[in-house]
Amino acid sequence: MSNASKPDPGRRRPWVVGVSGASGTPYAASVLRGLLAAGEAVDLVVSRASRLTLLDETGIAFRDAHWRSDLREWLALGADGKPGAFAVSEADLADVRYWPAGDLAAGPSSGSYPAKGMLIVPASTACVAGVALGLSKDLLQRVASVTLKERRRLVVTVRETPLSGPTLKQLVMLDEAGAIVLPASPAFYAGATHIQDLVDFVAGRVLDAAEVPHGLYRRWEGELRGGSKEEADPS
Ligand SMILES: Cc1cc2nc3c(=O)[nH]c(=O)nc-3n(C[C@H](O)[C@H](O)[C@H](O)COP(=O)(O)O)c2cc1C
């Protein structure tokens, strides 16, 4: 039997993380930290527009040629902008591959490239439209189309408010195509006291959708807090 027909049990199967140009780069940082903490391999695609949101929200000018040091600086930032809030080493980034958004020949642009699926965090409405219509205008949108055609998990963490009629229709199109539409919509039942808690709640729900274990937020256990029902009942 030739080597070509042997299965490769050690084959790398990354999650592709696509960062598009919606507000919410702390969500992406939290998802990336969560994937790496869980031992997942990551392929990263950062859209051209997301460099503007990254610059605006973190002060980092993300560069293709220096992506590893820029990513490390980004992942170390707290959601409140505090540098060094998270310890991120070179070793933590060892299983990250970076693909420039203009590289339409990149590995994940083909369905034959092994990947578990794709998490778009955050997803702009332009990205939602492009993926819903199959535009593939850049690598991020192409990988999303590939993920859908290969019937792999695609999570679209849309961030916009209010939503227009066309975007709502495109979100339904994505749902019908098999994607999980997961609005960046933090909840307050998990006992958030800091901005990082709200960010981690959304990131944790993204990882839940990918079935990646994490401890990013406190799960609901069926008990209301803050007083008994009698105290809450005015009658
Ligand atoms: C600072 C900033 C914040 C933005 N926030 C959002 C947002 O929250 N949601 C959104 O849909 N677009 C937002 N945009 C607009 C997108 O960046 C724009 O539509 C872009 O074309 C998206 O391209 P991409 O999907 O290829 O990344 C923002 C732009 C800037 C500069």
| DSSP string for 132-175 | HHT---SHHHHHHHHHHHTT-EEEEEE--SS--HHHHHHHHHHH
Given a cut of 70, whether residue 21 has pLDDT beyond it is: yes
> What average pLDDT score do residues 44-59 get?
98
Given a cut of 60, whether residue 53 has pLDDT beyond it is: yes
87 is in an annotated binding site: no
Give me the percent of the chain exceeding a pLDDT of 70: 92
Rounded-to-integer distance, Cα 54 and Cα 37, Å: 22
In the structure encoding, which two tokens stand for residue 108, read together?
Answer: 């994940």
235 is in an annotated binding site: no
- Which residue's CA is the nearest one to ligand 1's atom 30? 53
> What average pLDDT score do residues 171-193 get?
97
> What average pLDDT score do residues 91-112 get?
98
The pLDDT, as a whole number, for residue 147 is 98
The pLDDT, as a whole number, for residue 59 is 98
Q: Which atom of ligand 1 is nearest to the CA of 138?
A: 26
Residues with CB under 6 A from ligand 1: 20-23, 47, 49-50, 52-53, 56, 124-127, 159-160
Q: Ligand 1 test: best mutation among 124, 133, 142, 158, most atoms within 8 Å of CB? A: 124
The pLDDT, as a whole number, for residue 235 is 45
| Residue, of 52 and 228, whose pLDDT is higher | 52
Rounded-to-integer distance, Cα 64 and Cα 56, Å: 18
- Which residue's CA is the nearest one to ligand 1's atom 6? 22
Rounded-to-integer distance, Cα 6 and Cα 57, Å: 47
| Residue, of 229 and 64, whose pLDDT is higher | 64
The pLDDT, as a whole number, for residue 10 is 75
Dihedral class, residue 24 (left if φ above 0, else alpha if ψ from -120 to 50, else beta): left
In the structure encoding, which two tokens stand for residue 151, read together?
Answer: 């019937």
Contact assessment for residue 186 and residue 199, using Cβ atoms and an 8 Å cutoff: yes
- Which residue's CA is the nearest one to ligand 1's atom 14? 22
Mean of all residue pLDDT scores within the chain: 94
Contact assessment for residue 24 and residue 79, using Cβ atoms and an 8 Å cutoff: no
Contacts of 130-133 with CB under 8 Å at 24 or more apart are: 131/156, 131/174, 131/179, 132/170, 132/171, 132/173, 132/174, 132/177, 133/170
- What angle do helix axes 139-149 and 125-133 make, rounded to 10 degrees? 50
Tell me the domains of the chain and their CATH numbers: 12-218 (3.40.50.1950)
- What angle do helix axes 50-58 and 25-37 make, rounded to 10 degrees? 90
The pLDDT, as a whole number, for residue 6 is 66
Nearest Cα residue to 201 out of 216, 214, 211, 212: 216
Could you list the beta-strand ranges (E) of 28-165: 42-46, 96-98, 117-123, 153-158
